[in-house]
Structure 1
Amino acid sequence: MSKIMIAVDLSSYSTSVIAAGMQLARSTHSPVILTSILDKNTEVVPVIEAVGPSAEELNGRLKDIIAHLENYKEQYPDVTVTVTATLGNPKEDILEQAAEESATTLVIGTHGRTGLDHLLIGSTAEFVIRHSSIPVLVVPYRKEKH
């Protein structure tokens, strides 16, 4: 049986990524794991600086993310959806979680960054595509032609 994992960052276009994943789930009658990974590298400032969010604040943010994802779950009542959110490294944790959940397909979005932004920020989608052992459906941010 197939299982689809949809990984989103809750940016403005996550809705289109989730819609594409749900459409795939409907057509294949597959359950979905809807997940978001709060990037520990951008959310947690070293303790030395003592300005980073507390564990309580991070747990609150994770609860907010889960609540946000639960709203999507309600929009697709005909699809079996499990919601998760964790603090970690999105690039690696998406792949790790997909393996743990026995996902057969990953659905992710791409911001379509190029040049310096791409070099500085890196590309989670690119990393996942290069390292995934299962098929990856990438939903592009830019819908217009170049």
Structure 2
Amino acid sequence: MIADDILVPVDGSDASTAAFDHALEIGADAGATLHVLHVADTALPSLAGLGTDVADALEREGDEIVADARDRAEERGIDVVTDVRRGEPREEIVDAAADADLVVMGAHGCHGIGEYVLGTTTDYVINVTETPVLSVRAADGVTRSYPYEAILVPTDGSDHGTAAVRVAAQVAAHTGATLHLLYVIDELPEVEEPVSDETTTELEENAEAILEAAASTATEAGLDEASITTTVSSGSVPHEIRTHADAEAVDLIAMGTHGHTGLDRHLIGSFTEQLLRSAPVPVLTVQRNGE
């Protein structure tokens, strides 16, 4: 995935600033145009009946935010387009994302996602848009380095996971990164009976076959075989992803998303929010149709 047009929603918060900083690095490297968007949230119920003065003030604030972003991009010699809109942020972001190759959004960690890019909004954007979404946290201890040197892709062999492998491989080929493919044999706590050796062998063989296919997908996407590693682990999926991310010092995690229904089947629900809010590196989510 070589992005020509990158959408960056901004609100002036630390999180969106971190996302914009990261987008600057990507944009400068890719020769991309940055599309900086601020949405004056005039859909807030608290604004009802207050007239146009408040909405006008919100729009003026947005003008200042995007003007600062434009100046910073132009200082780097990056093409930039700014846009200030009124409306519901999640809908406006999705609308703008339709014309972008990549969306870069700020995530606020354990306290939520952006001042207007709140948890439900970022979930909505990730699940609705077919454009890959890169979530970037501003918290201390988060690695936001670029170009990427190590990319982790947890996959289960689904179409959505395959799409993430393909996009991540393209990114790895462009940046010279190593691609780490991970399959986690989920040890479900509700299963009381021990798994037989025969079943364990079948699970491991299935995992190896899935990773072999994923590696083939990566090479077909242009990544050298020497830049690909595969690992099968077992345990809690969230724990194994974090453990592997730390062990390999990855600076990007990429995952497939079903769209409208959440992330890949092992990564649905609360873990989705948890990872986006606590990941030590940016997280790239990819839909099958957005590959």
Same structural fold, with TM-score higher than 0.5 when normalized by the shorter chain: yes
Matches within 5 A, 1:90-105: 90-105=237-252
Could you say if the C-alpha distance between residues 92 and 142 of structure 1 is closer, same or farther in structure 2, counting changes exceeding 3 Å? Answer: farther
Could you say if the C-alpha distance between residues 15 and 139 of structure 1 is closer, same or farther in structure 2, counting changes exceeding 3 Å? Answer: same
The answer for the alignment partner of 2:210 in structure 1 is 68
In the alignment, structure 1 residue 33 sits paired with structure 2 residue 33: no
Distance apart, 1:46 and its partner CA: 0.4
The answer for the alignment partner of 1:118 in structure 2 is none
For residue 277 of structure 2, what is the amino acid of its counterpart? R
Contact 2:253 2:282 in 1 (8 A): yes
The answer for the alignment partner of 2:192 in structure 1 is 46
The answer for the alignment partner of 1:87 in structure 2 is 234
**Number of corresponding residues:** 132
Distance apart, 1:70 and its partner CA: 1.4
Of the structure 1 ranges 64-73 and 15-24, higher mean CA displacement relative to structure 2 is found in 64-73
Contact 1:108 1:125 in 2 (8 A): no
Once the two structures are superposed, residues 122-141 of structure 1 have per-residue CA deviations (whole angstroms, 9 ceiling, x without a partner) of 24433221111111111135
Could you say if the C-alpha distance between residues 109 and 72 of structure 1 is closer, same or farther in structure 2, counting changes exceeding 3 Å? Answer: closer
Matches within 5 A, 1:127-146: 127-141=274-288, 143=290
For residue 110 of structure 1, what is the amino acid of its counterpart? T
For residue 274 of structure 2, what is the amino acid of its counterpart? F
The answer for the alignment partner of 2:198 in structure 1 is 56
Contact 2:182 2:231 in 1 (8 A): yes
Q: Distance in 2 between matches of 1:103 and 1:58?
A: 28
Gaps of 5+ in 2: 1-147, 263-267
The answer for the alignment partner of 2:80 in structure 1 is none
Contact 1:90 1:124 in 2 (8 A): no
For residue 250 of structure 2, what is the amino acid of its counterpart? A
Distance apart, 1:10 and its partner CA: 2.0
Could you say if the C-alpha distance between residues 90 and 65 of structure 1 is closer, same or farther in structure 2, counting changes exceeding 3 Å? Answer: same
Contact 1:109 1:140 in 2 (8 A): yes
Contact 2:161 2:257 in 1 (8 A): no
Q: Distance in 2 between matches of 1:10 and 1:124?
A: 19
Once the two structures are superposed, residues 16-45 of structure 1 have per-residue CA deviations (whole angstroms, 9 ceiling, x without a partner) of 111011011011011111011121117x72
Could you say if the C-alpha distance between residues 22 and 29 of structure 1 is closer, same or farther in structure 2, counting changes exceeding 3 Å? Answer: same
Of the structure 1 ranges 56-65 and 80-89, higher mean CA displacement relative to structure 2 is found in 56-65
Distance apart, 1:86 and its partner CA: 1.4
The answer for the alignment partner of 2:135 in structure 1 is none
Could you say if the C-alpha distance between residues 141 and 123 of structure 1 is closer, same or farther in structure 2, counting changes exceeding 3 Å? Answer: farther
Q: % of aligned pairs identical?
A: 27
Give 1 or 2 for the bigger CA radius of gyration: 2
Could you say if the C-alpha distance between residues 16 and 137 of structure 1 is closer, same or farther in structure 2, counting changes exceeding 3 Å? Answer: same
Could you say if the C-alpha distance between residues 99 and 92 of structure 1 is closer, same or farther in structure 2, counting changes exceeding 3 Å? Answer: same
The answer for the alignment partner of 1:17 in structure 2 is 164
